[in-house]
Structures are given as C-alpha cells and as structure tokens.
C-alpha cells in the first residue's frame, strides 16, 4: 500500500482533531498482509487530562438538552451508520481481518445499539416513592454520572465500541473513549465521525488513541482523573483485573466485560443437524475471536458418531484466507501474537496426547496470522487449552456420559460468560440452564447472540456489571433521592 493511502488521524478532543502531546503516532497494522492501515496519534496521560477537560466542559449543556433533540441525534446517527455501511465493512476487513458475514452483523447490530440508545432517552427515568410525610413527594431520580471512561477491544469494533459509548451518552453523560490499538478507526474514530455527522455537540465524545506500549499509563490516567466518575471496560480478564483494582482504589464503579470459555452442551436427545449447525457457527464466526465463541463442545457420548464426522467435514470446508474475499469465513487472527497464542495452545495439547480431528495449529498467511480451523478431542486437564480462553479458530470436543457430567464440566472453569444447550427435551435443557453458572445461556442455540434490550454480562472471571436493557441504563446513571414538601416540613422536634 502506498504511504498516501494510509489513513492518518489525530485525537478527537473538544470536537477538534489534534496531535498527541508527544507528537508521536502509533501504527495500526492490517492483520492479513501486515501493511500499515492507519497511523493514529499516540495519546498520553496529558492528553487524557485534555480530553477530560473537554468532556467536563460539555457536560452541563449535554446533560440538560431536551429529550427530543438528544434522541434525534441518535436516530440520525443510526441512519448515517447505515449510509456508511459498505465503507465500514471494508474498513473492518482491512483493520481487523473480519469476514464479510461478521462485518455485516457488526454493522446491523451497531445500528440497533444506536436506535436502542435513542429509545432509552424517552424512557421513564425514576420512581415516585412512598413517604411518611403527608403531602410530600419523594422521588428516586436517575441522573447521569458526569464523565464516563470507555475502554474497548478490537474484536467486534462497531458493536463493542458503540456499546461502550451509546447508552452512557444517551442518558446524559459525556465520554472519554480509549479504543483498542488494533482497531482505533473502526472501534473509535469512525464511530465518533458518525455521531459528529449526526450532530453530537463538540466535547461530548472525545477519543484518545494510543500506542500499545502506553496503554497502562493512559488507562491509569483515565481512571484516576477526578472528573471521570465511572469506567467501562471490555477486554481480557487479565487487563480487566488491573482496571477493576484501579477503579476500586479511586472508589469508582466499573463495568467489566471480560473473557469466556463458553460451552455448547449437546444433550442425549439433541437434534444432530441443529447441533452441527450451531457448533460450526458458534466456534468459527469471526475466526473464533468473539468473547461468546464456543470454546468447548460438551456432547453426550451416544451422539458422538452422529456428530463428529459431519462436524469435521463442515469445518474442513470453511473457506479460509483473505478477508477481502466475500466468501472467506476464517480470516487471519488480529496479529501475530494472537496467532502464536492459538498455535501454542494447539501444539501443547497435541504434544500431551490430544487428537487433532482437523488442522494442526500451523501458522500461515502473508503476515503469519492465518490458522486453519482446528478441532481437538481427548483433551485433558493438564493441557493449557483445557482452561485457557482459545480466542481463535479452534474448538475442543468433550464427550460425556450424562447431563450431570456435562454440567460439572461446563462449570469447571474460571469463566462464566455465555453458553448454549441443545435438546429436544425442554425440561432437561432448563435443568441444565439452572445449574450452569454463566451470565447468559441459550436453549437450542450456541452462545453468540446479543440484543441491546438484553442484560449482557458475565459472572466469575468473565466480569461484572451489565450493558444493555434496564440494567445497562442503571450502569451509567445513579439514583438520587429528592423530596419536595409543598409548604415545608410540618414539625421539627426543636
């Protein structure tokens, strides 16, 4: 790619594109061929302070803007996003290696996140309470927090970037956003462009991009800034733990949406066709790089013969390669580090006796980021892949002898994000649902699903707090008790 084709962007602070205080840029690398896709300003802790200044200054007028005026901005943004859809899909393929089918899902869902944010603006925002004082009014108002810090990952950028800002903004907060170094455009600046075109006032959303080497310092400054009242973080459990500790030090609430080790439980009486379809999609959508991806297929042993050969045949046929090809399903991993992580898990398992039913974890592709789909079985607890989040195009099949054993294995993990249960017996499926510990679970479906009306979030080391639905609104507002006594309190004791 000619240098002139490389996108160059500054930080977005107070409605202006500005250079980083360091004067430096960070390269944003295209995963498929390793070329530079964009150069973005490498923000610093001082830039976080400037962004928080702008967000704080914008808060009074944004938080008091009339509901219809604010709602129009989100509805227009949904239309702008749709209008820019093809450009966004091309950007996703280039910046993150996403397949066309996953990019389309990202786009459609991002638009719905904006429409749901618009709807949130005209929902009731409080409660009228009982009171012991005759004639008085006692209210629990829901009010915005002030400035919200939003830190997001690269793996479903339009969805996760928009999710980190849409409801926080809609309910009246202003935001300082720090998108992933692997997707600063599609997870940050592209979303800000859409909202700006829709009329979001300057300073309401500020975007500070950064170099990976500075991520710790930039995020620490964001959490420590006294104007920032709440942080939301979507990303790995390791980084989430750092953020949770720092937020606690500063007595700030955090929403942490972290990793998963999601099971697809296939019970004895499951429809094998449905099980195969669900498992192919669940494990290999976005090359397995979704927090909700199926890491583990836990199947009753009586179905193994009906399931495994058909599953493996389908996996072998998945088109792999360049994400610019609309037929590609399994594209590159996000970077060489990601590919090396998956390869090492597969090779460790193979060396310790796992069976590889297809694939071997070899790294290919022009940039060393492509791994062809891998299906493993005979995986035991001494193998790293047993407990680690794979986050790539590999999945493990665990045959079990009973529903009881399936539940025990599903719960034998530090994570608890999502999962699926396939069964024709609704009673049996509901019993599994009630005993698997996860924030989300689906019957007759696998784990990948999201709707902005639903409470999304994990338990255990998959994090805490919710995006989506009423719980999502509560995450980014606080309750304030207000009383009104029309003519003063009737009696004081002295």
**Beta carbon of residue 237, minimum distance to ligand NAD (angstroms, whole number):** 6
If the CB atoms of residues 241 and 310 are measured against ligand NAD, the closer one turns out to be 241
Q: How far is the CB of 253 from ligand NAD (least distance, A)?
A: 17
Do 27 and 68 touch, CB atoms closer than 8 A? no
From the CB of 470, what's the least distance to ligand NAD, in Å? 18
> Is 257 annotated in the active site?
yes
Counting beta carbons within 10 angstroms of the beta carbon of residue 254, is it exposed (0 to 12), middle (13 to 18) or buried (19 or more)? buried
Please report how close the Cβ of residue 155 comes to ligand NAD at its closest, in angstroms: 5
List 56, 116, 257, 389, catalytic entry: 257
Nearer to ligand NAD, 28 or 389 (CB): 389
Q: How far is the CB of 322 from ligand NAD (least distance, A)?
A: 22
Site residues, ligand NAD (CB under 6 A): 151-155, 160, 178, 180-181, 215-216, 219, 234-236, 239, 242, 257-260, 291, 389, 391, 417, 458
**Burial of 358 per CB tally in 10 Å (0-12, 13-18, 19+):** middle
We find the least distance from the C-beta atom of residue 277 to ligand NAD, in angstroms, to be: 23
Q: What is the CA radius of gyration of the chain?
A: 24
**CA–CA distance, 442 with 331 (Å, rounded to integer):** 27
Nearer to ligand NAD, 216 or 401 (CB): 216
User: Cα torsion at 347, 350, 351, 352 (round to 10°)?
Assistant: 130
Closest chain position to ligand NAD (CB): 235
Q: Which residues contact 258 (CB under 8 A, 6 or more apart)?
A: 234, 235, 236, 237, 240, 291, 415, 417, 458, 461, 462, 463
Could you write out the three-class secondary structure of 432-460?
HHHHCCCCCCEECCCCCCCCCCCCECCCH
Give whichever of 234 and 377 is closer to ligand NAD, judged by the CB atom.
234
Catalytic residue among 56, 181, 187, 291: 291
Calpha distance 76→60 (Å, rounded):
22
Bridge partners (DSSP) listed for residue 308: none
- In the residue annotation, 291 being an active-site residue is answered as yes
In contact, 218 and 45? CB cutoff 8 Å: yes
Q: How far is the CB of 18 from ligand NAD (least distance, A)?
A: 20
Instruction: For ligand NAD, give the closer residue by CB, 291 or 394.
Output: 291
Residue 101 CA, distance from chain mean position: 18
**174-178 and 262-266 as β-strands: parallel, antiparallel, unpaired?**
unpaired
Closest CB to ligand NAD among residues 28, 276: 28
Q: Which is nearer to ligand NAD, 159 or 270 (CB)?
A: 159
Comparing CA positions, the residue from 187, 198, 205, 201 lying closest to residue 80 is 198
The total number of residues written for the chain in this structure: 494
348 DSSP β-pair partners = none
Would you please indicate which residues are annotated as catalytic (active-site) residues?
257, 291
């Amino acid at each position: 790619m000619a240098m002139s084709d490389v996108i160059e962007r500054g930080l977005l602070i107070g409605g202006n594109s500005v250079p980083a205080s360091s004067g430096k840029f960070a390269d944003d690398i295209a995963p498929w061929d390793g070329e530079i896709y964009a150069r973005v300003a490498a923000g610093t802790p001082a830039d976080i302070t400037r962004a928080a200044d702008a967000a704080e200054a914008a808060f009074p007028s944004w938080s008091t803007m009339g509901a219809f005026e604010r709602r129009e901005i989100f509805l227009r943004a949904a239309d702008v996003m749709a209008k820019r859809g093809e450009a966004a899909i091309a950007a996703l393929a280039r910046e993150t290696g996403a397949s066309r089918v996953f990019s389309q899902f990202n786009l459609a869902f991002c638009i719905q996140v904006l429409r749901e944010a618009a709807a949130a603006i005209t929902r009731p925002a409080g409660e009228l309470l009982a009171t012991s004082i005759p004639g008085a009014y006692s209210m629990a108002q829901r009010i915005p927090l002030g400035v919200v810090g939003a830190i997001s990952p690269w793996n479903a950028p339009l969805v996760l970037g928009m999710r980190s800002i849409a409801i926080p903004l809609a309910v009246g907060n202003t935001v300082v956003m720090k998108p992933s170094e692997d997707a600063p455009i599609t997870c940050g600046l592209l979303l800000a462009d859409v909202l700006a075109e829709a009329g979001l006032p300057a300073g309401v959303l500020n975007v500070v991009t950064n170099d990976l080497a500075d991520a710790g310092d930039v995020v620490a400054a964001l959490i420590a800034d006294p104007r920032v009242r709440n942080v939301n973080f979507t990303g790995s459990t390791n980084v989430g733990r750092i953020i949770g500790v720092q937020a606690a030090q500063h007595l700030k609430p955090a929403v942490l949406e972290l990793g998963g080790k999601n099971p697809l439980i296939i019970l004895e009486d499951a429809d094998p066709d449905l099980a195969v379809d669900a498992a192919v999609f669940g494990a290999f959508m976005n090359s397995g790089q979704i927090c909700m991806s199926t890491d583990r297929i836990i199947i009753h042993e009586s179905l193994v013969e009906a399931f495994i050969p058909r599953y493996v045949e389908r996996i072998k046929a998945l088109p792999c390669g360049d994400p610019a090809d609309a037929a590609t399903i399994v594209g590159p991993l996000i970077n060489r580090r990601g590919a090396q992580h998956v390869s090492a898990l597969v090779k460790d398992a193979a060396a310790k006796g796992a069976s590889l039913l297809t694939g071997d974890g070899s790294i290919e592709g022009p940039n060393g980021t492509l791994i062809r789909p891998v299906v493993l079985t005979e995986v035991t607890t001494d193998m790293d892949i047993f407990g680690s989040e794979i986050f790539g195009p590999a999945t493990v099949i665990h045959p079990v002898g009973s529903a009881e054993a399936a539940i025990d294995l599903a719960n034998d993990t530090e994570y608890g994000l999502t999962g699926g249960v396939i069964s024709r017996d609704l009673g049996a499926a509901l019993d599994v649902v009630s005993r698997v510990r996860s924030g989300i679970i689906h019957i007759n479906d696998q784990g990948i699903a999201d709707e902005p009306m639903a409470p999304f979030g994990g338990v255990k080391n998959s994090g805490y707090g919710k995006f989506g639905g009423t719980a999502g609104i509560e995450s980014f507002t606080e309750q304030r008790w207000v009383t009104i006594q029309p003519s003063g309190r009737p009696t004081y004791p002295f």
